Structure 1
Amino acid sequence: MISLAPRITGQGLSIESWFTRGVEPLSPMNDDNLAFLEALSNDLMKSPSAKIHPELVALGFWLRKRNIQNMFESTLRQTSKVMHKPLGTVVHFTPANVDTMFVYSWVCSLLCGNNNIVRVATAQSDIKDVLLNTLDRLFQIPQFSVVAKRNWFISYDKSSGLSGQLSSFADARVIWGGDESVNSIRALPCKPRCRDISFADRFSATILDLRQVDESQSLEDLAQRLWRDTVPYEQQACSSPRLVYFLGDTPVLLSVLARLNELASQTEISITQKNNQLVTMQLAQSTDADCEILMQDRVCAISVSGITETMLGWHNGEKVFYVRHLDEPEAMFTDSLDKLQTLSYLGLSEHDKLKVLSHPSISGIDRIVPVGQALDFTPVWDGFDLVGQLCRKVSIF
């Protein structure tokens, strides 16, 4: 059963009729879409209900008109040699555990001019409710009717079979979720030229050269930036660090963790979180003879001799960090890092970064960013150029 999430544009339409009703996509960087995103940005940054959620404030800031223009105008500029055209209709299958991350890929598709159907997870979330209510309110403004009728947010039970119907009409599918969920969607029949963009299971790490940090102010700043990468989405975003590699002395790391724990003390901690931390610690201790618990409080830090896929599978967020000391950055590649998405860093030189990326065994790492910027979304994400994937590039000779 399709349910309102919170409102279906064109309510009463069937899946098939929505695709066949003759509403053409808009041109890339269309004025109507730009005006809508500017209004959404203003609402998220000013609304009292949105301002209590850092993720929504960050989204509103990202949607600022100048930022959107800087990121997309040069890429989607029409010239005498190149024209960008929308694909048609893009279907987005969103994750249940990262409430707002899907909006970024939807915005990329919107700016490419596509019509969009966004399947929103049925799991309840205050952040998601605020976001969808904000979208709903804007969709009902007559000025944005052109945008509203081209964008449909729906929710339905996975067992309903509607994912198959959506896939059969899609010109592209953006699929967020775990490996199993992604594979189940990709197995559904689709058009021969349908494009799939899959954001499957990934994890991220940070590498800190603490030999260059020796002042309390620097430690405080580092903790603030690490916290900024950790707290949104309950550390469940693929780009939130779960591993901390460090070079330097352990006491310096402990000072950073202590400051991070002070920041965490400003948030509530549940019995479930404490239990999950305890289970993760016990599992790590049972498989790693050199395992040492560095901190067990609001923040849980577990020193390990190496990282395996099994250990990563135990990690459910909850402000848990696996910690490993390195003598040199390249030593991290003795771990299982095939699914490593983002490596945030402190103190790495350009030479260090290039040396890490040129390591022969590397099969992960799609981006390297300074600590504090791990969650900053760009149109190139998980190794995908979303603008290039979500529009057609017509060459003119």
Structure 2
Amino acid sequence: MQQHFDSVTYALGSAEIEMQMADVRPLPIFSEEAVAFLTAFSARILSGAEVKAYPDVVTLGFWCRSAALRQMQKIYDAERNRLGRGIVFHMAPSNVAVNFAYSCLAAFLAGNASVVRLPSKDFPQVDVLCRIFAETLAEFPALFPYFLFVRYGHVQEVNEHYSRMCQTRVIWGGDATIDAIRRTVLPPRANEITFADRHSLSVIDTSVYLAAGDKERIAQDFYNDTYLSDQNACTAPCFVVWLGTAEKVKAAQEVFWSTLYTLVKDRYTLQGVQAVDKLTQLYRLGVHAAARQVPMADNLITRIRVAELTEELAAYKAGSGFFIEYRAQELAEIRPLCGISCQTLSYYGVQRDALLQEILSMRPAGVDRIVPMGRTMDFALIWDGVDLIRTMSRVISTI
């Protein structure tokens, strides 16, 4: 019997669709149905006039286009004995607009139906994507029971209801959110994927940067990595490590931050509450660490220079253009930032393979992604070190 909750509203689907989900059959990974749906979904995004106002939605459209799906599928070509686990319950993060769609579509490629709790914050991108999901599903009516998007507050009873329904639970949120949701018991054979609080850093080789002729593009890439998400995304670097001599680092910093500032002042609006948050974190950092603020024209870019990198610095990250800087003479000096809470390491002017080898030699508890500057937010089916397709599917073995 389907339980009714007055606190639940359906952004996609209905109570009737929710009842039908119990009879949904898992699909093979990268099923014909999933590939056809995502291809049509991508086409609707990329042809929509209103979507052009939202770069993160456009990026999603490119991510799931037909050619991209073929590239993703190659990794799993030898694993045709995989089926989805059943229903995946996604707790989307409140501060990243399109994350829920990536999570849901990854689950669908893994052969599952999805119940998605949408972000609590009102994002226009969410409304746009819900409409595009609905329009695409109209072309594939048999797939309606595979997608249910809901909104509700902090209601433990509802969390318990959807947790009982699922075979996999995916929690995108801070540590406190994960702790709270884990009080809700899962079915015995269900598994869970959690994406906790993380921090990220960027490494810049000053010699290569100073010689670059496209410094405006570099600034745009860094802006996309940071300001587009208000640095709320775990992928957004809060640490900037400069490789080089003191003289070169000083010269590179002056050019880099002034070029970035030109972009920020034209495109970004700092809210009062964000300014207060930055100031609070600055005072905390000043009390507990040897740090000093670098003067800037205003509060759009807040720079804090530290003389030493320590693991504790990760606790002082903030958003809205808050950066902790350090000058390093060699890559090995970044090790204190590469603990278990470190997610993404972006780079400019550094050889990727050399960076990878340095990280492997450290054997850190963290660092799950190494990407070029400008691509920190590129979603992949291996995220935070977790293979989403394999984790959200099961193998039928033979002897």
Q: What is the deviation of 1:5? A: 4.2
Q: What is the deviation of 1:77? A: 4.9
What is the TM-score with the length of structure 1 in the denominator? 0.90
1:243/1:321 contact within 8 Å kept: yes
The answer to whether structure 1 residue 153 and structure 2 residue 149 are counterparts is yes
Q: Deviations 1:353-376 (Å, cap 9, x if unpaired)?
A: 31233115x211011111111111
**Which residue is equivalent to 1:353?**
356
**Which residue is equivalent to 1:375?**
377
- Higher mean C-alpha displacement, 300-309 vs 167-176: 300-309
Pair 216,358 (structure 1): closer, same or farther in 2 beyond 3 Å: closer
Pair 298,5 (structure 1): closer, same or farther in 2 beyond 3 Å: farther
Q: What is the deviation of 1:211? A: 1.9
Give the one of 11, 21, 25 matched to 1:6: 11
Pair 374,335 (structure 1): closer, same or farther in 2 beyond 3 Å: closer
AA aligned opposite 1:266: D
What is the TM-score with the length of structure 2 in the denominator? 0.90
Query: Structure 1: how far apart are the matches of 2:188 and 2:144?
Result: 28
1:29/1:73 contact within 8 Å kept: no
Q: Secondary structure at the match of 1:232?
A: helix
Unaligned runs of 5+ residues in structure 2 are 1-5
**Which residue is equivalent to 1:260?**
260
AA aligned opposite 1:293: V
Q: Deviations 1:312-354 (Å, cap 9, x if unpaired)?
A: 4443410211111111111122347330001011232323431
1:294/1:302 contact within 8 Å kept: no
Identity of aligned residues (%): 27
**Which residue is equivalent to 2:285?**
284
Give the one of 121, 136, 159 matched to 1:123: 121
2:311/2:336 contact within 8 Å kept: no
**Which residue is equivalent to 2:93?**
95
Q: What is the deviation of 1:6? A: 2.1
1:89/1:117 contact within 8 Å kept: yes
Matches for 1:272-311 after TM superposition, within 5 Å: 272-295=273-296, 296-306=298-308, 311=313
Pair 331,265 (structure 1): closer, same or farther in 2 beyond 3 Å: same
**Which residue is equivalent to 1:138?**
136
Give the one of 162, 175, 195 matched to 1:199: 195
2:209/2:348 contact within 8 Å kept: no
Q: What is the deviation of 1:287? A: 2.9
Query: Structure 1: how far apart are the matches of 2:115 and 2:75?
Result: 26
AA aligned opposite 2:339: L
Q: What is the deviation of 1:395? A: 2.8
**Which residue is equivalent to 2:158?**
162
- Higher mean C-alpha displacement, 83-92 vs 330-339: 330-339
2:285/2:291 contact within 8 Å kept: no
AA aligned opposite 2:124: D
Q: Deviations 1:28-72 (Å, cap 9, x if unpaired)?
A: 322232222122212222222221111111111111111011112
- Higher mean C-alpha displacement, 343-352 vs 323-332: 343-352
Query: Structure 2: how far apart are the matches of 1:115 and 1:72?
Result: 19
- Higher mean C-alpha displacement, 128-137 vs 267-276: 267-276
Unaligned runs of 5+ residues in structure 1 are none
Q: Secondary structure at the match of 1:395?
A: coil
Query: Structure 1: how far apart are the matches of 2:385 and 2:146?
Result: 28
Pair 162,299 (structure 1): closer, same or farther in 2 beyond 3 Å: same
AA aligned opposite 2:25: E
**Which residue is equivalent to 1:69?**
70
List structure 1 segments (4+ residues) > 6 angstroms apart after TM superposition: none
Query: Structure 1: how far apart are the matches of 2:7 and 2:140?
Result: 24
Let me know the Cα RMSD of the aligned residues: 2.2
2:21/2:146 contact within 8 Å kept: no
Q: What is the deviation of 1:309? A: 6.3
Give the one of 114, 117, 120 matched to 2:112: 114
1:177/1:200 contact within 8 Å kept: yes
Q: Deviations 1:270-325 (Å, cap 9, x if unpaired)?
A: 33333333333333333334413253442222212345666544434102111111
**Which residue is equivalent to 1:232?**
228
1:291/1:305 contact within 8 Å kept: no
Pair 111,216 (structure 1): closer, same or farther in 2 beyond 3 Å: closer
Q: Secondary structure at the match of 1:6?
A: strand
Query: Structure 1: how far apart are the matches of 2:157 and 2:309?
Result: 39
Q: Secondary structure at the match of 2:36?
A: helix
